[in-house]
Amino acid sequence: MSLRLFDLSGKRALVTGSSQGIGFALARGLAAAGSQVVLNGRDTAKLATAAAEIAGSETLTFDATDHHAVRAAIDTFEAQTGPIDILINNAGMQHRAPLEDFPPEAFERLLQTNISTVFHVGQAVARHMIARGRGKIINIASVQTALARPSIAPYTATKGAVGNLTKGMATDWAKHGLNCNAIAPGYFDTPLNAALVADPAFSAWLEKRTPAGRWGNVDELVGAAIFLASDASSFVNGHILYVDGGITASL
């Protein structure tokens, strides 16, 4: 009985920004737990390549920063294909520069990609979930939801906003049967962190700073996603689950 709580058979999950990195790993993990997965991104070719690696997966191409495009894509998919039971808002970007020199256009792109997408896709999917009286929304936050480090102040601001938007979603939508939570990854070896992974000095610092003593592997996020996407988390709402090797727990 206890293991059945984590079974995602018969569910459909949409994962934004899932052609690579964390999004792809989470989609692959949910598929292994029984879910039908829908990959999303803006690059049709990259999505097709990713979908070829996950048996039975589907693709849904739209720009998650475009509110009207998101609404049209989600409404059409729900009408023609079927319900989206699980949403993982994973689309995101990074830009590094000293705050005093940070380009304003890069700041605006971060706001649109890291925060607005969570609102646009979350709202479009939630409207259908509310009508059904159930649904799971998982937003991808970060250790930067709670911490800061040099050269990424705007990114830190966006991930703090994701954490609070998650709490707001839970506050508004729990009464409709939705569970809205976030996963906050620590430092994982992903394309977004490629510059840091390639920096021996940073990797050495990170290994000393993190109690687990290493970078995370993206597959280590899958268990948290399955938990929050499944019936096992039926009374978990507005929670930010840090998967970070202990970095937020230690000085």
Among residues 92, 155, 142, which one has the least CA distance to residue 247? 142
Token pair 């293991």 in the structure block, residue: 3
What are the tokens at 221? 């996020």
Cβ distance 133 to 177 under 8 Å? yes
Which residue in the list 24, 62, 77, 155 is annotated as catalytic? 155
Q: Kindly give, in sequence order, each residue whose CB lies less than 8 Å from that of residue 16, ignoring residues fewer than 6 positions away.
A: 23, 40, 41, 64, 87, 88, 89, 90, 91, 117, 121
> Which helix (H) or strand (E) element contains residue 140?
strand 135-140
Q: Which helix (H) or strand (E) holds 151?
A: none
The DSSP output letter for 188 is: B
**Catalytic residue flag (residue 187):** no
Q: At what angle do helices 21-32 and 222-229 cross, to 10 degrees?
A: 60
Q: 209: which 2 tokens?
A: 């700073």
> What is the C-alpha separation between 80 and 161, in angstroms, rounded?
33
* Tokens of residue 157, six digits: 């601001």
Q: Which residues are catalytic?
A: 155
